Every structure is written in structure tokens, then in C-alpha cells.
Amino acid sequence: MDLHNQGRQKFIEFPFVSAPHRDLMVNLLSTVEDRLGSHLLPCTLPLDVQHCQNESGSAQASLHIRSGLQSSQVDFILGSWLHCKLPTGGALNITSLSAYLNPSTDAPNFMIELIQSSPTSLVFILDLPPRKDPVLSPDYLQTFYENTQLDTHRQMLAKLPEVQPYVSSSLYLRSVLSPTVVMIQIGAQAGGPERMEEIVKNHIDPTAQEVLGIWLDHCARGERLVGEEEKAYMMKRDELIKKKTIEIDLGTNFPRLFGPEVTDRVLGAIQKVYNI
């Protein structure tokens, strides 16, 4: 079995989350690959980067990255999951999928992240992060956020009694997200794990699928090309975003969980894909 299929098979196991949570992530990845497959290269990361764990087995992570063809507007897609046991006896599980476009277009990227610290507590982030300042480009705001009615998804989820707004401690993260971002905390202590699974299956899953569909239809396959001057700006901005993302996602927690050797190996592979 080749690197791509062997690593992908391990990645889509999502072994530490509930069945609805796993189904959500697998379906999102499959949708992206079905729609963009002809624009993507296989994942060629070494197997010890695609899946890694620390010596004690208390932390595991899986990574799946597919770069876009040179002729494509897609830069790359990145899926990941992280599992680590907590000192309290529970576990932290983070699953994410991001899709980045290259500087030939200024259309937004796509991101989804689910952070679960217990079977009844979940943070859900879903967004099309803008790549231009909506204040300076009101047509950008209208095209991608108003005409697509993206804010209705946040409004619908906010009606659930278990849902509360979530405010990230990272000012940087809050500054790069769109005005229609879904950033919520779900507490299902009263209904138990069964209620959480019901919320993921009946509310989180369809919302994520609809927002991904909007991104695929209006951003990933669009004809919104930019000139050379704007392309240089997009290239610089995208590079800064990638560097900061690595710093936030890997710079703090990864060395503590996996040690310097695994961190350097994974970080080097990601930087190569990011071309930074």
C-alpha cells in the first residue's frame, strides 16, 4: 500500500471520538476529495509524520496533507486529529480540517475544528477566513458572506439551549476570522453523552456540510483571479498566516506532548508543504 492510502486509512479512523463525530470528519474529507480530487496531489508525508505518538502512548496525532496541482487554485488541504490523556483522567480530542487557496485568487479559505475535553463538552469553530480586509473591500463582504447567508448557520446553532458563545483566548485567532464565524461551546451535561452525539449528528454535521458546500461552490472553484500586485500582497499575507498557524498549533503544545524529536520531524514536513 502506498504512502497516501496507508496514511489516509489511519487518519480516517478517528479512533478516540464518537461515531457521529467520526462520520462528520470522514464525510467532510470525502466531499473535499470528491470535488477537488483532480486538483490534488496524493499525500506524500512519511508515515512517521502522518501518524505519531509519544513514548508513553498518552498522546497520539495523525496528519493528512494533500497539495494542489500547480495549475490549481488550491494550495493544499490539511486534516488532523490529536488525542492526549489529561491528568484528571479524561482526554482531550481535537479534530480539524482546513483548505487553503493559493495567491492566484483572493477567495476565503475553509476551516473547521472540534475541541472536545469531555463526552459532554465541545468547542466548535467553523469559518471561511477572509483573505482581504472586508472594510476596504465591501464587495468581498457581500460576495462571500452576505449573498451566501453564512450568518444564518451561526444563528440557527445559537438557538440550541446547550450552546453558548465561545471566546478564544487568542487575540490573533479572533482577528483573522470572519464576522460570520461559528465559534460556540456546547455543554450537554444535562443530557449526557447521548445528547452531545445527537447535537453533532443533527446540527453540527449538516451545518458543516452546508458551509463546506458554499466554500466549494463560491471559493474553491470560482473565477476570482487577482492581478500581479495583489497577488504579491496575497502571497505575503498567506505566508504570515501559515507561520503564525504553525506557531500557535505546534509551537506551544506539540513539544510538551511529543518531545523535540517528533516535533522537529512533523514541523519540518509541514513547513515544506507550506513552502516557508
For 146-167, the pLDDT digits (tens) are 999 999 999 999 999 999 999 9
- Cβ neighbours for 73, distance < 8 A, ≥ 6 positions apart: 39, 101, 102, 104, 105, 107, 220, 221, 222
CA angle 238, 240, 244 (to 5 degrees): 120
- How does pLDDT run across 60-72, given as a tens digit for each residue? 999 999 999 988 9
- Region 192-221: what's the mean pLDDT? 96
pLDDT at residue 116 in the model: 97
Q: Is the pLDDT of residue 18 over 90?
A: yes
Mean pLDDT of the chain: 92
Residue 46's CB is within 10 A of a number of other CB atoms, namely 12
Is the predicted pLDDT of residue 249 greater than 80, yes or no?
no
d(CA 117, CA 232): 40
Percent of the residues in the chain that have a pLDDT greater than 90, as a whole number = 68
Would the pLDDT of 1 be above 70? Answer: no
Q: Smallest Cα–Cα separation from 66: which of 7, 118, 108, 152?
A: 7
pLDDT on residue 34: 95
> Residue 92 — φ and ψ, nearest 5°?
-105, 130
Q: What is the pLDDT of residue 254?
A: 87
Encode 179-218 in three state secondary structure: CCCEEEEEECCCCHHHHHHHHHHHHHHHHHHHHHHHHHHH
The architecture (CATH level 2) of 3-265 comes to 3-Layer(aba) Sandwich (3.40)
Please determine, for residue 10, whether its predicted confidence score (pLDDT) is greater than 80: yes
Q: Does residue 250 carry a pLDDT above 90?
A: no
pLDDT greater at residue 209 or residue 137: 209
Phi and psi at 39, nearest 5°, equal -100, 0
- DSSP 8-state assignment for residue 42: P
Of 36-45, 119-128, 188-197, the poorest mean pLDDT is in 36-45
CA triplet 99, 17, 211: central angle to 5 degrees?
35
